[in-house]
Amino acid sequence: MRRTIIAGNWKMYKTSGEARRLVEDLKPLVGASEVEIVVCPPFTALAAAANAASGSNISVGAQDIFWEDEGPYTGEVSGPMLKDLGCRFCIIGHSERRQYFGETDANVRKKVRAAFRSGLIPIVCVGETLAEREEGKTLEVCRRQVEEGLEGLTSEEASKLVVAYEPVWAIGTGRTATPRDAQEVIGFIRELISKMYGEDAARQCRIQYGGSVKPENIAPFMEQPDIDGALVGGASLDPVSFAAIVNTAAEVKRRQKI
């Protein structure tokens, strides 16, 4: 049984003081949830968030990583540095990095390997743009991003992986994919991982949906058989709404088990 994972991508929001307060406010609202809870603040707030989360069931992740462990790479942050701050996860290949910072599938591949090398769990983002969707290329784009971005792992690494399917047109727009469409793409991604790394790895790795997830719309996504959680942007900046997403996801999964 895969453990549900809800992650908050704070993007370029929150100072370190604000991050500490957000985590402190979140802790009592999520209690001892069986859901794996991750917050991903900007680099500058990672230490504060990790200190505030220490001893709780909230893990901390970074929003990016560089592929070398150290060296003359001005402005970059490496896996060992993130690990040292208390990170357990790392978002890689977010569409905003692909769109604004020229992130390629080849970069993603190197970063995924760097994350595993440092003992971090990558949350690898894939998803099509609106134009690609309208041209009927959704599966083709996701296939390329998965095959090229996730190449060269061991089956054990693949089984620990988190993939986030985030249709670019659903990010920050208030529009979501339908839960059925998201299930179709996510089921397809799981099949690809099965072909690349075997059935066991595909059964164990977790795949999230992302794009305008809110407390009001999370439930039908969590009811889909292949959707193991969500990567949440805007709604993760407010402790009450992020906790409501976590608690609703837990409730849906609990109901499914009965």
Residues that bind ligand 13P (CB under 6 A): 9, 94, 166, 171-172, 210-213, 231-235
Burial of 223 from C-beta contacts in 10 A (0-12 / 13-18 / 19+) = middle
Residue nearest ligand 13P, CB atom distance: 233
- Phi, psi dihedrals of residue 21, rounded to the nearest 5°: -65, -40
DSSP 8-state class, residue 211 = S
Q: How far is the CB of 232 from ligand 13P (least distance, A)?
A: 5
Told to judge if 251 belongs to the known catalytic residues of this protein, a careful annotator would answer no
Cβ-contact 26, 232 below 8 angstroms? no
Q: Which is nearer to ligand 13P, 126 or 201 (CB)?
A: 126
Q: How far is the CB of 153 from ligand 13P (least distance, A)?
A: 22
DSSP 8-state class, residue 88 = -
Beta bridge partners of 163: 124, 207
Told to judge if 223 belongs to the known catalytic residues of this protein, a careful annotator would answer no
Q: How far is the CB of 96 from ligand 13P (least distance, A)?
A: 7
Q: How far is the CB of 6 from ligand 13P (least distance, A)?
A: 11
Distance CA 215, CA 245 (A): 5
Q: Which of 18, 76, 94, 156 is catalytic?
A: 94
Q: Which of 96, 103, 128, 166 is catalytic?
A: 166
Distance CA 202, CA 76 (A): 32
Q: Which is nearer to ligand 13P, 61 or 79 (CB)?
A: 61
As annotated, the active-site residues are 94, 166
